[in-house]
Amino acid sequence: MITFVKSDGTQLEVEKEIFNTNATYNVIAFDKEVLEESDLLEQYDDVKAFNTERYVLKENESAIGILEYGMESPRSGKPWLSLLLIDGRYQGRGYARKVFAMYESMVKEKKADIIQIAVHVENKHARRFWHSLGFEIYDERMHEGKQYYSLEKKLARLS
């Protein structure tokens, strides 16, 4: 069973380990293969600034990933998923799909009708994954010198 454990900055080592099993993503997102504690502390500044919630994803006692989301994106005011990162040692086992399904259900319970995400243009693997879950590109933009696609998924209403 996968659980979401609220991340309040006390699990920096666990999160750093998860990020550092994803060297390719780190290069795309942060221009370096290995993140340091200071990099994660900067991310926590963003969590506060953008009013997002961050969770370490666990299956039993094993940390398998990180999820971060907000209910009002700074650009559109709509629900947005800012990070879904699965530990490299657990990839290919369906965890990202399971976690996203849990997140989507949670957002629907909050009466949201859409989820938005941003994906680095060069992250072809992520773009294929999100497209397979029903996300479509609605915008392209530059942010901090990096090119992104903005994607969204319209959600079916709960009965």
**pLDDT tens, residue by residue, 85-141:** 999 999 999 999 999 999 999 999 999 999 999 999 999 999 999 999 999 999 999
Give domain limits for the chain.
2-154
d(Cα 65, Cα 84) in Å, to the nearest integer? 7
What pLDDT score does 157 carry? 65
What pLDDT score does 148 carry? 94
Q: Maximum Cα–Cα distance for the chain, whole Å?
A: 45
The mean pLDDT value of the chain amounts to 93
- Whether the predicted pLDDT of 27 surpasses 80: yes
Tokens of 32: 């370096």
* Burial environment of residue 85 by CB neighbours within 10 A (0 to 12, 13 to 18, 19 or more): buried
Give the pLDDT band of residue 158 (cuts 50, 70, 90).
low
CATH class of 2-154: alpha beta
CB 23 within 8 A of CB 34: yes
